[in-house]
Amino acid sequence: MNSILSEQEKQFFKYLPSTLCVMEVNDNQFRLIALSEGLCNYLDIDYREMPVLIRNFNNHRDRFISVKDQEMIVMKCRQRKNEDRIQLRFPFHHPNGKDVWLLVNGYFRSVNSHQLCYCQVIDLTKEKIRLDVANAQNDHLATLLNDILSTTQTCIFWKDDKRRFVGANKAFLDYYGFPSLKSILNKTDEDMGWHNEPDYFMQDEMRVLNGERTYRVHGKCIAKGKERDIVASKAPLYNNGKIVGLVGSFEDVTLEYRQREEIEGLNKALVAALKNEEKANAAKAEFMARMSHDMRTPLTTVIGLSEKGLEDTQNEEDYKRYTYIKKASEYLLSLLNDILNVEKLKSGRMTMNNEVVDINEIYGQVEGMTKPSATEREHEYTIIRPKGTMLVKTDRHWVMQILINLINNAIKYTPRKGKISWVITQEEKEGKIISHHVIKDNGVGISNSFIKEMYEPFSQEQNELSHSETSTGLGLSIVKKAIDMFEGDIECHSILHEGTTFTLTIPYETVTKAEEVQFFHQQEDYIDYDVLKGKHILICEDVDINAQIIAMILQKYGMTSEIASDGNVGIEKCRHNQYDAILMDIRMPNCDGLTAAKRIREFNNDVSIIALSANTYLEDIQKSIDAGMNAHIGKPIDKKELLKALVKFIR
């Protein structure tokens, strides 16, 4: 061998035994010629035994390297020429019995007719183990990803940078009805003919291939011959920082979009219906306002004249006639109030006007108002109620309305000499005063079938007393809606021909110490009507008889008055005369009361203006205040309320 080696190579062979590098020299049959001390150390053999190792390796290579790997190594070595390089990886059975992986970097040299390979040997076992673990993990992740893609119901696909399909999951193929991936590979959406408007989808995907991400973009596609609605999300795919394609997913939202279209259609129809309802409600509100005004105006006249007749007449027969007229007028007024109250409650325009009151005093007032009717019918009327003063915050009007309606019903629908009882208990609970009322009678009773509908407006049960008693069929409807407004409760237990028991609960708010002090201070205030004497009042009222009645009331308390038949006349009178107050009817011809008040305020901010109106909704009161008036009084006019307002606002 030495005879064929160059001087340089001789030097290398001379140096090789002493190097600690793991090196060896082979021929082109991969037979071992020489190896370094470093390789001997790696193989756990004494360097002096190297000839034995070389002989054993060359004669029994299959003990160290598998036959298959030997064939691979020999084949690759035979193909190499002078100065070629080679890199080999293969498993090696170590003399110590362990299997390792080796990396051999070889360099070929031709010496005369001989081919030698100078090799560096590196143990790759640890790296191979790590690589095997990583590959196993990758295989597991690939299997998991494949399982996810195969089982998810979301359609997923991925394409190359030319928008050609590279892959898709089972849900995608099933959605379009394809048996395998071959049906779409290397094809674009346009090739598949899925879209009636392909440019939209093409532009969307080109944006993604330029680095954008899209989310739930709506579009339409053809699947299994039918047009469907889908929303698609897409993102670019990168390899070494370069966009190489895109991945996307989509959901079928056909049902959702069909429902949305139906809902939009229904909404349009609903908006149209609401507009029509608003028009109808506006017309209804206008009708109710006109009816209230047109009915209250003559009733004001009739009640005012009957009260005046009762005060002035000395004739017994005339007194009876005036009494009948007044009662009939008051009944008509109560009927009108019931209708308006039901309308307010139904429309939600009725609100609670909470104020500090002595609730036991209110019970006393209800007792005083209902007892005469019970006495007239010779009923045994038992009332058990708390005594003393108990201050609460509630709506006085509605509490009285509820109780008077129920007690009057008990009185009306109990034959003469019956038994009526009203028991009140009260408790404090969760920061509120809870009042419990049991109103019981032994009257005609209510059938079970009617109990289910008795709170409906205008519902009436026919019985032996229903024909003899005046009733609108609105009382219980008003009671139920008012109790609901209080967030209270009402129950009815009744047996025909034996009697009825109503059990109701009404919660009241508690009062603070400051509110209590203020209440008692106001109770001590004295209204001195003498301050009204000599005051000059302008009455703006288009109905002459009503104006005359108001003038008579004012005259009785020492006031003088002038009458204006409409707003324009009132404005002119106010320009040229000095008045202590103006009583302003809201509905008048030529110029209504609101307009007149606004125009008067342009030149006179001192005179007090009090509105007179059949409409007493909160919005009506607010309109009067906004027009510059100081107070708002309902019709028919309550004399005490009118006088209190005059005392309060005359300057």
Contacts 24+ apart (CB under 8 A), 130-137: none
Res 361 pLDDT > 70 = yes
**Which parts of 481-569 are beta strand (E)?**
489-495, 499-509, 536-540, 560-564
| pLDDT value of position 4 | 45
Instruction: Please enumerate in sequence order all residues whose Cβ is within 8 A of that of 568, keeping only pairs 6 or more positions apart, or say none.
Output: 590, 591, 596
pLDDT at residue 18, rounded to an integer: 47
Averaged pLDDT, 57-63: 84
Instruction: Find the farthest-apart pair of alpha carbons in the chain and give their distance in angstroms, rounded.
Output: 168
Task: Lowest mean pLDDT of 23-27, 28-32, 350-354, name the range.
Answer: 23-27
Global pTM reads 0.44
CA distance 420 to 232: 75
Give me the amino acid identity at 75.
M
Torsion of CA 575, 577, 579, 584, to 10 degrees: -50
The predicted-structure confidence for 232-251, as pLDDT tens digits, reads as follows 999 999 998 899 999 999 99
Angle at CA of residue 13, ends 9 and 19, nearest 5°: 125
Q: What is the pLDDT of residues 149-168, one digit of tens each?
A: 777 888 999 999 999 999 89
pLDDT tens figures, 370-397: 888 899 899 999 999 988 889 999 998 8
**Is 11 or 157 the better-scoring residue by pLDDT?**
157
Q: What is the pLDDT of residue 335?
A: 64
Average predicted confidence (pLDDT) for the chain: 83
Query: What is the C-alpha separation between 545 and 543, in angstroms, rounded?
Result: 6
The answer to whether 87 and 104 have CB atoms below 8 angstroms apart is yes
Pair of tokens at residue 389: 């003063």
For residue 83, pLDDT over 90 is answered with no
Choose between 222 and 50: higher pLDDT: 222
Decide which of 547 and 286 is more confident: 547
| pLDDT given at position 3 | 47
Residues 202-239 pLDDT 10s: 888 999 999 999 888 888 888 888 888 889 999 999 99
Do 54 and 27 meet the contact criterion of CB atoms below 8 Å apart?
A: no
Q: Give CA separation, 600 vs 287, 563, 591, 622, 645, in Å.
A: 29, 16, 12, 18, 19
Q: What would the pLDDT profile of 253-289 be if each residue is shown by its tens digit?
A: 888 888 888 888 888 888 888 888 777 666 666 666 6
Percent of the chain with pLDDT over 90: 28
Question: Which domains does the chain carry?
Answer: 2-129 (3.30.450.20), 152-252 (3.30.450.20), 266-340 (no CATH), 351-523 (3.30.565.10), 529-649 (3.40.50.2300)
* pLDDT of 558 above 60: yes
Distance CA 123, CA 92 (A): 10
3-state secondary structure string across 324-389: HHHHHHHHHHHHHHHHHHHHHHHHCCCCCCCEEEEHHHHHHHHHHHHHHHHHHCCCEEEEECCCCC
